[in-house]
């Protein structure tokens, strides 16, 4: 049974063990103690509890976040737990401060004027939904792209961002992601073909007494 995670915006995605490992290791790194081995062990404990502790099919992202903090604090990594909490709080504040405006508002917003309707709040889920509906992308892929776009927006540091800029970032990251996926599929197919060809040559050589048979 695949555990589902209910995000803060109400969307649902599959539980990813590797994501927990990454979050814990990033928290450890933020406190100056990066340790992938510790991250893996703590993530295994959390994953085991989620799958076996309550016999349920869903959990929430906030509950997972709390479990990570508790696990870090309980294993003498209080600084990492605190760093994770501060990082989460800062990102939450940045998201809430961002307003999305229309392209025709860009030249007017510095003077306080509004045109084309009021600004809307930043909503990463809107990007996800648009990618799923428009590009027919898998939800996990769409969320990965939306997260990359959000990271760029947050790093820009603006409190108002135009829809045109968001669209350009989405297009660029979507193209890069799809290209990377295609390259991985191509590399995988080439490796498979090479292994098949090597096996076929070896089998033929065995028949001809030219290749040692491993027992």
% of the chain residues with pLDDT over 90: 52
Q: Extract the tokens encoding 144.
A: 């990965």
Q: How confident is the model at residue 190 (pLDDT cuts 50, 70, 90)?
A: low
Residue 117 has pLDDT above 90, yes or no: no
Q: How far is 151 from 164, CA to CA, in rounded Å?
A: 17
Give the sign of the dihedral formed by CA 112, CA 116, CA 118, CA 122: negative
> CA neighbours within 13 Å on the CB side: how many for 26?
12
Bridge partners (DSSP) of residue 121 are 99
Give the pLDDT confidence score for residue 71 in this predicted structure.
Answer: 96
Residue 30 has pLDDT above 50, yes or no: yes
Q: What is the pTM of this model?
A: 0.68
Residue 51 has pLDDT above 60, yes or no: yes
Q: How far is 82 from 64, CA to CA, in rounded Å?
A: 16
Give the pLDDT confidence score for residue 185 in this predicted structure.
Answer: 83
Give the pLDDT confidence score for residue 200 in this predicted structure.
Answer: 60
Give the pLDDT confidence score for residue 209 in this predicted structure.
Answer: 53
Give the pLDDT confidence score for residue 111 in this predicted structure.
Answer: 38
Q: How confident is the model at residue 54 (pLDDT cuts 50, 70, 90)?
A: low
């Amino acid at each position: 049974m695949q555990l589902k995670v209910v995000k803060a915006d109400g969307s649902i995605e599959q539980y990813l063990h590797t994501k927990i490992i990454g979050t814990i290791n990033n928290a450890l790194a933020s406190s100056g103690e990066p340790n992938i081995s510790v991250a893996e062990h703590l993530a295994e404990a959390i994953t085991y509890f989620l799958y076996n502790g309550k016999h349920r099919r869903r959990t929430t992202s906030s509950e997972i976040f709390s479990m990570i903090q508790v696990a870090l604090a309980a294993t003498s990594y209080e600084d990492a737990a605190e760093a994770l909490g501060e990082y989460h709080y800062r990102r939450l504040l940045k998201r809430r401060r961002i307003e999305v405006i229309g392209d025709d508002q860009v030249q007017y917003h510095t003077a306080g004027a509004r045109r084309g309707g009021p600004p809307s709040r930043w909503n990463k889920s809107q990007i996800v939904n648009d990618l799923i509906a428009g590009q027919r992308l898998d939800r996990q892929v769409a969320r990965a792209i939306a997260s990359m776009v959000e990271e760029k927006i947050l790093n820009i540091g603006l409190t108002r961002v135009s829809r045109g800029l968001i669209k350009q970032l989405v297009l660029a990251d979507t193209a890069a992601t799809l290209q990377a996926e295609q390259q991985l599929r191509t590399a995988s197919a080439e490796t498979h073909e090479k292994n098949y060809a090597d096996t076929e040559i070896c089998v033929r050589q065995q028949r001809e007494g030219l290749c040692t048979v491993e027992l």
